[in-house]
Structure 1
Amino acid sequence: MPPETLYVTTHIHTDGPIPGPHSLLTLASAAHAASGALTSTFTANLRELPGATLHPAALTNWRTRAEDWLTTRRAAKPPALVAAAYARWVSQLPGPAVFVSDPDEPDHHFCFWYLHRFAGQWPFARSTTTADAAAPGRFAAETLCALSGCRALVPAG
């Protein structure tokens, strides 16, 4: 019997709309079995990219969330170390991993760019969107977020 497919939901924070000129600040992923059972999680804060800048719209947003900004900077690690650890985490999951993303959010763009740029690979078997009904637990990665602005968005219970 082939291993069960796992669905990896991801929640990120950035300092701008696109990777490269702007940085990925936090990465949180949750791997779920088709039944919705949580299999594994990954979280990390990343250092800003050298030469990247804070986008003016992001600056306006982060100014209203100073404590959340500081949370994203705690124990931040170099992007290459985080990308390598994340690719290793995905590769070590007990089945093929499907990256689940919200088409209205930049999660896929940032993860794809960072993984290729710093880990040299995209470790997922395929990608799908949250609109795919076969993606259980698709918003679970948000529950891993330590930022107070995100905790307010996660339904209780």
Structure 2
Amino acid sequence: MAARKVKPSLYVSVDIEADGPIPGPYSMISIGAAVAGVQDADGYTAADPQAHTFYRELRPISDDFVPEALAVSGLDRDRLRTGGTEPGAAMAQLRSWVRSMAARTGAQPVMCGYPASYDWTFLYWYLMRFGGDSPFGHSGCLDMKTLYATKAKVPLRSVAKGTMPRELLSRRRHTHHALDDAIEQAELLSNLMRWDP
């Protein structure tokens, strides 16, 4: 029996900033993405995470927000109301960028996040609400906390960046600017993918 050809995966680190805990009542106000690397049958190849990036600040979709959540990003809602990218346009631009990166590498896109659960919730909701289509499919996401817990053989709820070996962490600061954090987390993913504890 012939071996089935495995299509490579393109790992795209995504970070979002939002003004509340869930999409719909609250808004994604910025999104950053960075190509982390490609995995094929021969292994993982890291990319320069600063080489291929995407960033948008978005117009809020409601008047509701949690002040503490908004403060984390440092973004101004009044400025975003007038100067933020309309969500449908931002999602169309993101789809186009992800698909161009996938075509360039011949790989299927996978969103990766730390933790993916929060960022994926907003990302997938926005992609489906504003355009009805996700370049990641409905389940193409990888959670870096789960990846670390599995490799380190530790309980998932015990994982935090501070519990990881220092050599896995990026030297970049986590700034809560979506693009900065996407780049930082792309480096973490590449380190995790190559890590053999």
Report the equivalent of 1:58: 69
**Stretches of structure 1 lacking an aligned partner (at least 5 in a row):** none
Q: Does the CA-based 8 Å contact 2:117-2:143 persist in structure 1?
A: no
Q: Does the CA-based 8 Å contact 2:17-2:178 persist in structure 1?
A: no
Q: Quote the RMSD (CA, aligned, Å).
A: 3.8
Q: 1:92 to 1:117 in 2, by over 3 A?
A: same
Q: 1:30 to 1:7 in 2, by over 3 A?
A: same
Q: Which has the higher helix share?
A: 2
**Stretches of structure 2 lacking an aligned partner (at least 5 in a row):** 38-43, 149-167, 186-197
TM-score, scaled relative to structure 1: 0.72
Report the equivalent of 2:46: 36
Which amino acid letter does the alignment assign opposite residue 118 of structure 1?
F
For the residues of structure 2 that align with 1:144 and 1:90, how far apart are their CA atoms? Answer: 22
Q: What does the per-residue CA deviation read over 1:86-122, in whole Å, with 9 as the maximum and x for residues that have no partner?
A: 1111111122111112347510000000000102111
Moved over 6 A (4+): 137-140
Which amino acid letter does the alignment assign opposite residue 58 of structure 1?
A
Query: Are positions 1:102 and 2:108 aligned together?
Result: no
Query: Are positions 1:77 and 2:85 aligned together?
Result: yes
TM-score, scaled relative to structure 2: 0.59
For the residues of structure 1 that align with 2:121 and 2:169, how far apart are their CA atoms? Answer: 17
Report the equivalent of 1:124: 136
The structure whose Rg is larger is 2
For the residues of structure 2 that align with 1:4 and 1:42, how far apart are their CA atoms? Answer: 21
